[in-house]
Amino acid sequence: MQIRLLYGTETGTAEILCDDIKDELDGEIECEIQSLEDVGPSDLSTDALNVFVVSTTGSGDLPFTAIPFFDKLQAEKPDLSNIQFAIFGLGDKTFAATYNFGSETVMNKLLECKAKQVGQRGIFDAASNEMPEEVALPWLRETLEGASVS
Ligand SMILES: Cc1cc2nc3c(=O)[nH]c(=O)nc-3n(C[C@H](O)[C@H](O)[C@H](O)COP(=O)(O)O)c2cc1C
C-alpha cells in the first residue's frame, strides 16, 4: 500500500507530524510527503490514498501553505470523484469557537469537488497532554483498514 501525505502548516507541526508518520510506517507502507503549496488538484493521486494533515491559524483560518491549493479548488471546481482522501487536523481547543476549522474547511471543499472520504476526519488538540503522533497514528491505521487503494 502507498499513501500520499499532504501537509498544510503555519508553524511546521503538520510537516513534522508527516515525517513522524513516515518514519513509523517505514517498511510497512510507502509514504510520499509533499507540502500542499506544491500540489494542485490534478496532482492528487488516483491510486494512492491522499492523506491531508492540516492545521488552523488566525481565527479559524487556513495555514498559509494550504491556501494556494484551496484557492485552486475554489476557482477550478475540479471533479475529484476518482480521488480518495483522509484528513487529519491540528488545532487547539483554547480556540473554542474555531477549533480545527482549517481541516474542516479543506474537507468540505474536497467533498464539494466529489472526492471520496475514507474514514472520519481525525483531530488533534495541541492543548492536550498528548503528542500529535499518539493520536494521528492510531487514527491512520484505523482509516487505512477502510481504504480500498493499493
Ligand atoms: C496565531 C495562532 C492562531 C491559532 N488559531 C487556531 C484556531 O483558530 N483554531 C484552532 O483549532 N487552533 C488554532 N491554533 C493552534 C494551531 O492550529 C496548533 O498549534 C497547530 O498544532 C499548529 O500546527 P502548524 O504548526 O502545523 O501550523 C492557532 C495557533 C496560533 C499560533
In the chain, the domains with their CATH numbers are 2-145 (3.40.50.360)
Q: Crossing angle of helices 132-145/13-25, nearest 10°?
A: 60
**62 in Cβ contact with 26 (< 8 Å):** no
User: What are 50-79's pLDDT values in tens digits?
Assistant: 999 999 999 999 999 999 999 999 999 999
What's residue 30's pLDDT? 94
Query: Ligand 1 centroid to 32 CA: how many Å?
Result: 24
Query: Average pLDDT, stretch 24-33?
Result: 94
Place of cell 501537509: 7
Reported as type and span, the H/E element at residue 52 is strand 49-55
3-state secondary structure of 96: helix
Residue 77 CA, chain-centre distance (Å), reads 19
Predicted TM-score (pTM) of the model is 0.97
Question: Regarding predicted confidence, which is higher, 31 or 147?
Answer: 31
Share of the chain above pLDDT 90, in %: 93
Shortest-distance Cα residue to atom 5 of ligand 1: 57
Query: Ligand 1 centroid to 124 CA: how many Å?
Result: 11
9 lines ligand 1 (CB under 6 A): yes
Query: Average pLDDT, stretch 130-142?
Result: 97
How far is Cα 149 from Cα 90, in angstroms, rounded to an integer?
25
